[in-house]
Chains A and B, each alone.
Chain A
Amino acid sequence: MKKYAVSNLLFTVFFLAIFGPLCYLLYDYVLNFALPPVAAKQSLSDMNTALLTVNRDFSSAPEYADNVPVLMYHQIIPESQLKKHHFTEDGDINEMVLTLEEFTKQMDYLKDENYTVLSLKEFEGFMTNQKKVPAKSVLITFDDGFKNVFEFAYPVLKKHGFYAVDFIITGLITNRTVDYDSAFLQYASIEELKEASDVFDYGNHTHSFHDRNDDGVSYVEAYDRAKVKENLIKANEWIGHSMAFAAPYGEYTTTTLDILKELNIKMGFTVEPGYVNPSQHILEIPRYAIYPFYTVNDFEYILEH
């Protein structure tokens, strides 16, 4: 046996050196695509990602805002990675999708025009009359917690020093970060949430009620009060605070508002367009959806009232 020890060893090393990496490639692929990630076992509250404490001093601002626009986005995807399923039958881009190029232009505009992009905490101060914010202030929100937001929007926001709120469906946040693939509708992983928590605050978008029943009624409206409440509690506990809520599809009832009060949720966001000032109902804060067909002028118009 000794006679062949060297050649055996050399061959084995050679074999492992070439075959090992290939096995790893396969393993990686299978992990990424063959086995879809499952709902995260841990919650964000387990990971010590508290609410952003950003609360800047705006006392030197020359002018204060009466109204603040709240912008609403869903998905941010580079134009080159748009797939057929991102378009409607008419060939228009899906309303929920904004290209990364457009998004970057809009963020650059905010930067160039010296807009103050508020943190959730600052916005709450504004809404509760505890804080004055500069005249040109804006709150950026995202709904649903898609992976592409973390993949593409997060770096842009971070570069500009902006803050944003992502309303996440906590039951859909995954346990493992996978490669981005625009062919699939991927949700963010808990790890991504944690890493992006220097820019994002997370809001409640229900734990698992982002759906409609067979009659097309959203779960929040369709289910009885106890069930909805339970679901919202789950999401709150998962996130670790009860700062903000946005109803899936913007559909809710007065019962929902009662639940929000009971749960001591500070702010509720709708999908109705409109400007926000502290005199408004804090559980029905309007938001401007930013659609893909908006031009820069449309965007400017929304910001400048």
Chain B
Amino acid sequence: MMLTITMTLFCLFIVFHTLYIFIPLYTSRAQKRDYPTKEKGISILIPAYNETLVIENCLMGILHVNYTDLEILFINDGSTDDTLETLHKHLNLAKTSRPKEGVLKHGEVREVYQSEIYPYIWVVDKENGGKADALNAGIDFAKNEIVITLDADSILEPNSLNEMNLTFTDESVVAAGGLVNIVQGFKRSGQKLIPCFKLPGLIRYQVVQYLSAFYLHKTTQSRIGSMTVIAGAFGAFRRNILIQAKGYRKTVGEDMDITLRIQELIGTVLKGKRIVFVPEAFCYTECPASFKNLYRQRIRWQKAFIDCVITYRKSFYRKMNFKVSTYLLVDSFLLGTVSAYPTLMVPIIVLATMSHLKLSLILLLMSIVLAIMQDIATLLVSRRFGHFYSLRDFITLIVFLPVEVIFYRITGLFFVTIGTILYFFDKDGWSRSERIGEPIMLDIGVKASVKDTLGG
């Protein structure tokens, strides 16, 4: 009986992870992009709560963006540090008034500022109400058809808005996720950021994980129409859909929550609409550099996930379509969370009873091989999108893969198991990742020019 369950789960695992390799491998290709001449209006929303350390990075990214029909709204969610002052320093903010639609509820807005240097940049200063509340305020103020949400530590790649614009020319697309790169995994070379793998192990692990999560997993999900999370670091939505979905819910993982809300709409009143992943549109973000912070981040993610599974438990297969429900329940919940417990128990049971030792070894070996294959496929696919490593880095990376699979991935199991348990004891006890705020400006020139402008 146990063996039947094990084998069933393992086969499901193999099926999903083989799909993750071959669907992206055979469908991903860098295409020649014909960007539409007409720009759709884009409103970028950046909620910020005590982001002094990183907000400058974010700002530099945005200033560098190659797009004109654009407005940017920073939503200062009652920061108690110098976030607002930092923005003022660079933007020269002036109090103004700005109409809002009043379609979504949110905390009280104290002031609205407009930059005197860049008139398309606005800052909404409001009472603290959490990230979801800040985003709702942003949606309410936003004027444009497309709303893009960024984290305050996301650095937007200059061409990514054009990519999003192109994506949304397809009327069936109601929301799109961009690719999130780990900024520590790049080094500056002239005007460009190029991938670099000379990193501490913990960051290497996350770099590889992000690459495979986006280039393989999200690509696959997008192809089969089962996107369950648009990363909060870089998401794009049609504004009317966000309003139809009644905005963001105050929860640990508001990014997954809004995605599932939209999936509910797609499953009911918006049949035929799609949520897609756009690997060509990307931003850079910092990843936790210490184990402690990684632990906090992952526990938070897991809590967010469990929260969504519980919140939407009645929607699966009813409001959400089959693919989304199955993907989330089988791959994410059953294989990702539930199986983690027996997986951790297996070595103990096997060593205690010495039975099925051979089976365990075969399963372990298959998992390791599959994981390494997935990593190799990640490298192949990411190359097609211009993610090249130098030969030296490439060799380091190849050598690192088995280490990553065998040692670092085990930590993932602990995060999942502990996070799930902690969710039930301590739903709100979470903190966001500690910001590092390395000055990783896209371009020193921009920074200098900002300073000049400020000075002048």
B-binding residues in A (CB < 8 A): 1, 3-4, 7-8, 11-12, 15, 18-19, 22-23, 25-26, 29-30, 33-34
Contact = CB atoms under 8 A, between A and B. Distances in A.
Interface stretch (B53-61, B330-338, B366-374): B366-374
A34 B359 CA distance: 10
Given A4-B29, A8-B26, A34-B7, A22 B365 contact: yes
Interface centre among A4, A18, A23, A34 (most CB of B within 10 A): A4
Contacts of A19: 366, 369-370, 373
Nearest to B10: A26
Interface in B1-44: 3-4, 7, 21-22, 25-26, 29
A29 B362 contact: yes
B369 A18 contact: yes
A179 B142 CA distance: 70
Contact of B362 (A7, A18, A22): A22
A59 to B, nearest CB: 56
Nearest to B30: A3
Interface of B: 3-4, 7, 21-22, 25-26, 29, 356, 358-359, 362-363, 365-366, 369-370, 373, 376-377, 380, 384
B26 A15 contact: no
Given A8-B26, A15-B21, A33 B373 contact: no
Nearest to A25: B362
A8 B369 contact: no
Contacts of A33: 356, 359
A22 B7 contact: no
Contacts of B380: 7, 11
A268 B366 CA distance: 54
A19 B368 CA distance: 11
A1 B29 contact: yes
A22 B368 CA distance: 11
B3 A34 contact: yes
A156 B7 CA distance: 39
B421 to A, nearest CB: 31
Contacts of A4: 25, 29, 384
B29 A26 contact: no
Contact of A8 (B4, B7, B25, B370): B25
Contacts of A3: 29
A11 B377 contact: yes
A33 B2 CA distance: 13
6 contacts: A7-B380, A15-B21, A19-B366, A25-B362, A26-B359, A34-B7
Nearest to A19: B369
Given A4-B29, A26-B363, A34-B4, 13 more contacts: A4-B384, A11-B25, A11-B376, A18-B369, A22-B369, A23-B366, A26-B359, A26-B362, A26-B366, A29-B358, A29-B359, A30-B7, A33-B356
A8 B27 CA distance: 10
B386 to A, nearest CB: 14
Nearest to B366: A22
A193 to B, nearest CB: 27
Nearest to A5: B26
Contacts of B376: 11
A33 B363 CA distance: 15
A258 B356 CA distance: 49
B426 to A, nearest CB: 40
Closest 9 CB pairs of A and B: A22-B366, A34-B3, A26-B362, A25-B362, A15-B373, A29-B359, A8-B25, A7-B380, A18-B369
Nearest to B26: A8
Contacts of A22: 362, 365-366, 369
A181 to B, nearest CB: 10
Nearest to B4: A34
A12 B21 CA distance: 10
Nearest to A27: B362
Contacts of A25: 362
A29 B363 CA distance: 11
B179 to A, nearest CB: 19
A7 B377 CA distance: 10
Contacts of B7: 30, 34
B359 A18 contact: no
A25 B451 CA distance: 65
B430 to A, nearest CB: 39
Nearest to A10: B380
Nearest to B25: A8
A23 B10 CA distance: 11
